[in-house]
Structure 1
Amino acid sequence: MRIAYVLLDPGIGVFGTKGASVHVQEIVRTFRALGHEVSVFCTRADEHMPADLADLDVTRLEVPRGLDRSQREIALLRLSDMLADLVTDTVAASGRGFDLVYERYSLFSTAGARISQRLGVPLIMEVNAPLLDEQRTHRGLVHAEHAARATAASFAGADRIVCVSELVAGWVRADYPGLDDVSVVPNGVNTERITPQGGHDRLDGGDLRAHGPVRIGFVGTLKPWHGTDRLVAACAGLVGDFRVDIVGDGPEADALTEQVRALGLSGRVRFRGAVAPEAVPQALREFDLAVAPYPAGQNYFSPLKVYEYLAAGLPVVASSVGAIPGVLGGTGAAILTDPTDTEDLTRALQLLIDDPELRAEMGARARSEALASHSWTQRCRQILAPMTGAAPVESGDVPVVTGDVSVDKGTAESGRRSASAVRA
């Protein structure tokens, strides 16, 4: 198939370094590996282009600079129309159409729905977050009615809506009832790109760092809802020879640096800053265990970092929030901790620092779990199955809760919103 990938969100660079950009790249990369031809239409590209995507067909419409929030929102509405016109005009001029439109849900965009209707081809809408709520809460939303109408029009125009978690799917189903196909397809991982220490086939969990400090790792944007401050606080109670590597950057960087200094951890904690996606696999191979220390509260994400930790063959310590218990519970690859209890996080980290055999065993299980259930190939086949006529995805490809390796405390509640969005 020829696929038009549409991304209006100016906060996500196709070739950026944050998790959303990695997600875009992996979806595109996997579609291409499955034999499909992909053209990307976006408002932001960025400069960290992976070598294997250097030939990707990318068309960008730039958001004007110097606009206030209200002006920027109106500009996005106009860019959505312009992008739809650009795609359909290009098809008319070249005589080469698309078989599918795939859009990552973005506020103020109806481009995918318009392109789909004009070309007479299906639209798959990927929904990663309840953006209306998220925008209001964290960044502010001036033209909320326009955003709600654009969202309703996009969802109504989609033949298939794929959501990264059950909480996100619940939001879609509750606020936009009557949609035909709203499915949950969690995020995944490239198990060829991210491999354990020692290579693809090292599944014995051998401890390659028998000497030297135990490396505790975190990868992600330094924002409050990632809980990196909880990790730092937990490390203040650890004993033994350990180091902490924090890979990422963000608005919490200065506060975290000060927290490390105040707790006397400056010799233990290293801030490595943001790295390009192609450097993440090597960074992961330098860890002995990895942490997803999310705080308590509603968590609707399908955390990329958790899947990457698994693929790297790392034992995982993670907060029991959102979708995480469903991914890690019963795998033997993780210790789930209470997101309200920093001492619980400290105890889990100390257990793994003190027990290299346990780290090795959990790491082997982590890699096996990634290979069996969480590859991007499995995920993308599941996304495209109704359009390609492929056989249904095996049940093992979707994480199922079958138990836990620790007490599951404090799973996030799913707060709901009563929307007043009107279908356009």
Structure 2
Amino acid sequence: MRVAYVCADPGIPVFGTKGASVHVQEILRAWRARGAEVRLYATRLGADVTADLADVPVVHVPVPAAPAGDGADRAARVAARERAQAEAARRLAARVVADGADVVYERYSLFSTALAEATARLGVPGVLEVNAPLIDEQRVHRDLVDEAAARAALAAQVTAAERTACVSEPVARWVERAVPVPPGRVVVAPNGVNPERVGPCADASAQGPDTAPPVVVFVGTLKPWHGVEHLLRARAAATGDWRLRIVGDGPQRAPLEALAAELGVDVAFTGAVAPADVPALLADCAVAVAPYPATEDAADQYFSPLKLYEYAAAALPVVASRVGQIPSAVEDGVGGLLVEPSDPAALARAVDALVADPARRRAMGRAARRTAVEQRSWTAVLDRLLAGTAVGRPVGHHRRHPGEQGPAAAEVPA
């Protein structure tokens, strides 16, 4: 089976370090594990190509940069960028048609109708993956000029897709409100993890009391919606003896470092880390944290955090905020502990409790690892979202075509 994977989002480097980049790469691996021959079509590549994906053929059609200008020119520049995104998606669709495919799988992006165009011309099924209510995000947090075109593109994609897989219930409801489709066409498929890439931490198999202060870890981009400031305040309020490691970088790093200094908290900030290097930074940890803050609108909590599944695969019990989809990913008291959001004192008490009871936290970590392996692998995610479709059957082992080349050689110039 030949699969055309399309990512027309210029904000996602498909071979990058962002969570979205990891998602793209893991779905590529899951398709190949099913025996599919995958070709990647993208508007942005990135430079972090892992060895196991180096042979994936890539068609690259970049989105041209918008012209410079401010003030009255802003709307014109945004409109030009939106038209450029749509045109790049059309060019990707044309390449899919020229290359041929048995199924088109697209990660939803604004203004793209690549899946709709390619499946109609090839007469093959399509699967659309929706990870966020992008139209709402763009309108509220960035700039959106032609919302009508964005909504028309979404309708065309969902209507054309045999299956639309949404990362959470709120995202599924958003799609169904925007595009009336028959029952069963829209399904919820939360994120997953690669339990072979992320192995169990050393603490999971340790015995007896701790011989050194345990390491508590957070992994993620340092942006406001991750609530890392609450984690720093929790460390300042904690009574237990534990070290804090923050893996990642972002616009909040400097303010967070300043807050840590103000609180007198010793924190190890690693900076940006490639996805391939994250498992090693989890291996010597004992507890992981997802301190998401409270929000005024529950609809804001539509995400399915990759970090929760990576923590679980690492056999790390997680202390996480009780918001959004997190209670469905972390069973309170089994694979971790849930606390109220934006409550550093509650966060501190939960971490202290796990640090003080090594046997309990290790049992929780092992339980989380079992769930990750048995239910939340990326292959299981793909199997669930394809179930009942024309492409829902594994097709044997991956074969590489003679002469098939990797990303650099397969690129198409702009």
Q: How many Å apart are 1:287 and its aligned residue?
A: 1.3
**Structure 2 Cα separation of the partners of residues 233 and 132 of structure 1:** 34
Q: 1:59 to 1:26 in 2, by over 3 A?
A: same
Q: How many Å apart are 1:15 and its aligned residue?
A: 0.6
**Structure 2 Cα separation of the partners of residues 240 and 330 of structure 1:** 21
**Structure 2 Cα separation of the partners of residues 36 and 240 of structure 1:** 50
Task: Give SS of 2:237's match.
Answer: coil
Deviates further, 286-295 or 338-347: 338-347
Q: Which runs of 5+ in 1 are unaligned?
A: 92-96, 392-424
**Structure 2 Cα separation of the partners of residues 322 and 9 of structure 1:** 25
**Structure 2 Cα separation of the partners of residues 310 and 137 of structure 1:** 33
Q: Does the aligned pair in 1 maintain the 2:208–2:359 contact within 8 Å? A: no
Q: Does the aligned pair in 2 maintain the 1:331–1:366 contact within 8 Å? A: no
TM-score, normalization by structure 1: 0.86
**Structure 1 Cα separation of the partners of residues 190 and 323 of structure 2:** 15
What is aligned with 2:39? 39
What is aligned with 1:168? 171
What is aligned with 1:293? 291
Matching of residue 108 in structure 1 with residue 106 in structure 2: no
Task: Give SS of 2:293's match.
Answer: coil
Query: Structure 2 matches for 1:98-247, cutoff 5 A?
Result: 98-180=101-183, 181-198=185-202, 205-206=205-206, 210-247=210-247
328, 344, 367: which is aligned to 1:342?
344
Deviates further, 311-320 or 253-262: 253-262
Task: Give SS of 1:39's match.
Answer: strand
Q: Which runs of 5+ in 2 are unaligned?
A: 68-76, 395-414
What is aligned with 2:400? none
Q: How many Å apart are 1:293 and its aligned residue?
A: 0.7
Partner deviation per Cα, 1:173-214 (whole Å, 9 max, x = no partner): 12222345000111111011111135xxx9x64259922221
TM-score, normalization by structure 2: 0.88
**Structure 2 Cα separation of the partners of residues 21 and 112 of structure 1:** 20
Query: Structure 2 matches for 1:21-40, cutoff 5 A?
Result: 21-40=21-40
312, 315, 318: which is aligned to 2:317?
315
What is aligned with 2:281? 283
Partner deviation per Cα, 1:67-119 (whole Å, 9 max, x = no partner): 3433211110111222212222x23xxxxx21100000000100111001000
Task: Give SS of 1:146's match.
Answer: helix
Task: Give SS of 1:388's match.
Answer: coil
Partner deviation per Cα, 1:297-345 (whole Å, 9 max, x = no partner): 3310111100000000001100111111012125611100001422111
**Structure 1 Cα separation of the partners of residues 46 and 241 of structure 2:** 39
Task: Give SS of 2:24's match.
Answer: helix
What is aligned with 1:382? 384
Query: Structure 2 matches for 1:407-418, cutoff 5 A?
Result: none
Q: Does the aligned pair in 2 maintain the 1:205–1:362 contact within 8 Å? A: no
Partner deviation per Cα, 1:370-393 (whole Å, 9 max, x = no partner): 1121111111112223223549xx
**Structure 1 Cα separation of the partners of residues 182 and 27 of structure 2:** 24
Give the total of aligned pairs. Answer: 379
Matching of residue 65 in structure 1 with residue 65 in structure 2: yes
Q: Does the aligned pair in 1 maintain the 2:193–2:310 contact within 8 Å? A: yes
What is aligned with 1:369? 371
Partner deviation per Cα, 1:211-248 (whole Å, 9 max, x = no partner): 22211101111111111111112111012432111111
**Structure 2 Cα separation of the partners of residues 318 and 216 of structure 1:** 12
The higher-RCO structure (CA 8 Å, 6+ apart) is 2
Q: 1:287 to 1:65 in 2, by over 3 A?
A: same
**Structure 2 Cα separation of the partners of residues 308 and 54 of structure 1:** 23
Q: Does the aligned pair in 1 maintain the 2:165–2:187 contact within 8 Å? A: yes
- Give the residue type in structure 1 aligned to 2:86: L
Q: Does the aligned pair in 2 maintain the 1:132–1:147 contact within 8 Å? A: yes
Q: Does the aligned pair in 2 maintain the 1:222–1:252 contact within 8 Å? A: yes
**Structure 2 Cα separation of the partners of residues 363 and 171 of structure 1:** 34
Task: Give SS of 1:188's match.
Answer: coil
**Structure 2 Cα separation of the partners of residues 248 and 82 of structure 1:** 34
Task: Give SS of 1:102's match.
Answer: strand
Partner deviation per Cα, 1:257-302 (whole Å, 9 max, x = no partner): 111111111xx20110111111111111121110011111331011
Q: 1:28 to 1:185 in 2, by over 3 A?
A: same
RMSD: 1.8
- Give the residue type in structure 2 aligned to 1:188: G
Q: 1:168 to 1:207 in 2, by over 3 A?
A: farther
Partner deviation per Cα, 1:131-171 (whole Å, 9 max, x = no partner): 11111122221222221211111111111100011111111
Partner deviation per Cα, 1:12-65 (whole Å, 9 max, x = no partner): 111100110000000001110111111010000100111100101111111213
- Give the residue type in structure 2 aligned to 1:46: G
**Structure 2 Cα separation of the partners of residues 221 and 147 of structure 1:** 27
Task: Give SS of 2:355's match.
Answer: helix
